[in-house]
């Protein structure tokens, strides 16, 4: 049985499917948390695999080519698979990623999306009835295209066997929170100390600061009106 958000099977193998133009920061946030957890007391050792559609290196958003451990179609058994994408959402229909995602779902694996990865999970029909988030700029499009998904503008969402986050530094918080649910609060505190973080941001926190805060304190009536419209 694969792992779930609140417990279940022990650590195993987790794949990160990298799409061209993905964010290095998004990938590093997640993988650095997993690497640090393996070195801390009470942590867990996950084997991390970086995957691409054809097994070739993938160019990140900044242009840096990132070597991978293999092709998506040739991936060994996985207990979790996370799609790492950025703001441009490519179609999933003709890629080897779709059948792998659907097979892993049937096997009870954790499925995740970082950046705009949630959009690809939705395209594969794997987010129906789940809460999910992605980069705020793409959230309206996802909500319109997939009304069966509960789309939020939160930093991250952990809903049963689905873990989605906005990308960037949000991946750090999301994976610390996920490991904390599996292995306890002591690991959360150890990871926060390791990364020099004052606190773990809650998943329900917004990706963007409220417009009322960006307006400033000089126009309280305008700030109040904007807050009401945002709500």
Helix (H, G, I), strand (E, B) or coil at 61: coil
Q: Is the pLDDT of residue 3 over 80?
A: no
Supply the mean pLDDT for the chain: 88
What is the pLDDT averaged over residues 97-118?
96
Instruction: Give the pLDDT band (50/70/90) at residue 6.
Output: very low
The 10s digit of each residue's pLDDT in 190-222 is 999 999 999 999 999 999 765 545 555 566 677
Helix (H, G, I), strand (E, B) or coil at 179: helix
pLDDT number for residue 8:
38
The DSSP secondary-structure symbol of 198 reads S
The DSSP secondary-structure symbol of 73 reads G
| Burial (CB count <10 Å: 0-12, 13-18, 19+), residue 122 | buried
pTM: 0.86
Cβ neighbours, 10 Å, residue 181: 17
| Cα–Cα distance for residue pair 103/108, rounded to 1 Å | 9
Residue 136 CA: distances (Å) to CA of 14, 58, 113, 141: 26, 24, 14, 10
What is the pLDDT averaged over residues 9-31?
91
Place of tokens 């417990």: 7
Pair of tokens at residue 115: 């950046």
Task: Give the ranges where 23-81 is alpha helix by DSSP (H).
Answer: 24-39
The 10s digit of each residue's pLDDT in 123-161 is 999 999 999 999 999 999 999 999 999 999 999 999 999
Q: Is the pLDDT of residue 11 over 90?
A: no
Question: Contact at 8 Å (CB) between 173 and 199?
Answer: no
The 10s digit of each residue's pLDDT in 31-68 is 999 999 999 987 789 999 999 999 999 999 999 999 99
Question: Contact at 8 Å (CB) between 20 and 65?
Answer: no
Q: Which of 191, 193, 196, 201 is nearest to 32 (CA)?
A: 191
Pair of tokens at residue 74: 């040739």
Q: Which of 113, 118, 89 is nearest to 30 (CA)?
A: 113
| Cα–Cα distance for residue pair 165/103, rounded to 1 Å | 22
The 10s digit of each residue's pLDDT in 155-187 is 999 999 999 999 899 999 999 999 999 999 999
């Amino acid at each position: 049985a694969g792992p779930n958000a609140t417990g279940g099977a022990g650590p195993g193998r987790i794949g990160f499917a990298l799409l061209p133009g993905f964010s290095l920061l998004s990938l590093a946030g997640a993988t650095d948390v997993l690497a640090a957890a393996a070195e801390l007391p009470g942590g867990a050792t996950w084997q991390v695999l970086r995957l691409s559609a054809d097994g070739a290196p993938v160019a990140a958003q900044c242009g840096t080519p990132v070597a991978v451990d293999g092709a998506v179609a040739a991936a060994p058994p996985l207990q979790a698979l996370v799609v790492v994408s950025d703001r441009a959402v490519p179609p999933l229909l003709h890629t080897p990623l779709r059948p792998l995602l659907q097979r892993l779902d049937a096997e009870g694996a954790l499925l995740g999306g970082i950046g705009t990865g949630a959009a690809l999970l939705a395209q594969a029909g794997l987010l129906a009835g789940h809460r999910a988030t992605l980069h705020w700029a793409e959230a309206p499009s996802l909500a319109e295209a997939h009304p069966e998904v509960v789309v939020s503008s939160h930093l991250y969402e952990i809903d049963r066997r689905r873990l989605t986050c906005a990308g960037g530094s949000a991946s750090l918080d999301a994976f610390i929170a996920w490991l904390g649910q599996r292995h306890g609060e002591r690991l959360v505190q150890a990871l926060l100390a390791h990364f020099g973080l004052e606190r773990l941001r809650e998943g329900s926190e917004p990706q963007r600061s409220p417009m009322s805060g960006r307006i400033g304190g000089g126009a309280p009536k305008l700030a109040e009106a904007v807050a009401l419209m945002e709500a």
